[in-house]
């Protein structure tokens, strides 16, 4: 038994180059497909966000039109459109927040897949260079590659990457607050002056 263990530990394992190249190509293909999948998901969520904005502005236009055309609404009724606007903005805020969270999640996942794809592509390039410098000899890697050459860990962007998400949130919600202030003040002006 001791003889087998000693022999087993000293035996050097060779990896067929086709197997090595195939493994890296599979990793590259997987992360490329995932990158495209996340891009499609982002595009769908962006379309959803645009639809939300369109519906919201149609609703705001209807409120504005109703206020400007109504002879029954007076200053003392100002709370009615302001309450409607507040509820609409709150519902819209929650919908936009959920959609942005989905978009940002997909963007983060896409970035991770792109970084992992880049690392795998670089490893494949390095492996091909080792092969060519080894004059392509034989059909196996023998001592040329280490275990690290086949391990491609899932890559994540640095913390600074999240800054763009925060700017995006601030931009959207700053815009919503501006629209809310404009609509409330317009309601007061239309009904009270």
pLDDT digits (tens, 9 = 90+) for 74-99: 888 889 889 999 999 999 999 999 99
Model pLDDT, residue 149: 60
Q: Which residue has the tokens 């309450």?
A: 83
Question: Which residues neighbour 189 within 8 Å (Cβ) at sequence distance 6 or greater?
Answer: none
User: pLDDT tens digits, residue range 151-164?
Assistant: 788 899 998 988 98
Region 130-134 average pLDDT: 79
Q: What is the DSSP letter of 141?
A: E
How many angstroms separate the Cα of 140 from the Cα of each of 14, 29, 54, 126?
6, 23, 60, 16
Model pLDDT, residue 131: 80
Q: What is the DSSP letter of 150?
A: T
Cβ proximity of 60 and 184 under 8 Å: no
pTM of the model: 0.76
Give which of 151, 143, 144 is closest to 123, Cα–Cα: 151
Q: What is the DSSP letter of 11?
A: P
**CB-CB neighbours of 97 under 10 Å:** 14
Q: In the numeric block, which tokens belong to residue 137?
A: 């000899």
Q: What is the mean pLDDT of the chain?
A: 85
**One-character DSSP codes across 156-171:** ---GGGGHHHHHHHHH
Model pLDDT, residue 142: 52
User: pLDDT tens digits, residue range 144-190?
Assistant: 555 566 678 889 999 898 898 899 889 989 999 999 999 999 988 88
């Amino acid at each position: 038994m001791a003889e087998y263990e000693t022999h087993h530990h000293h035996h050097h394992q060779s990896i067929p180059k086709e197997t090595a190249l195939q493994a890296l190509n599979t990793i590259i293909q997987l992360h490329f497909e995932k990158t495209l999948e996340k891009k499609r998901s982002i595009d769908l969520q962006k379309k959803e966000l645009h639809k939300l904005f369109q519906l919201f502005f149609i609703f705001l236009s209807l409120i504005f039109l109703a206020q400007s055309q109504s002879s029954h609404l007076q200053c003392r009724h100002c709370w009615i459109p302001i309450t409607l606007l507040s509820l609409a903005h709150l519902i819209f805020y929650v919908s936009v927040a959920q959609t942005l969270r989905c978009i940002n999640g997909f963007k983060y996942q896409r970035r991770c897949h792109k970084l992992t794809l880049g690392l795998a592509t670089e490893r494949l390039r390095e492996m091909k260079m080792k092969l060519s410098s080894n004059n392509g000899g034989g059909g196996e890697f023998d001592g040329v590659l280490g275990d690290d050459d086949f391990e491609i860990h899932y890559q994540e962007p640095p913390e600074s990457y999240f800054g763009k998400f925060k700017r995006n949130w601030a931009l959207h919600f700053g815009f919503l607050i501006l629209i809310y202030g404009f609509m409330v003040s317009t309601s007061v002006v239309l009904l009270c002056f």
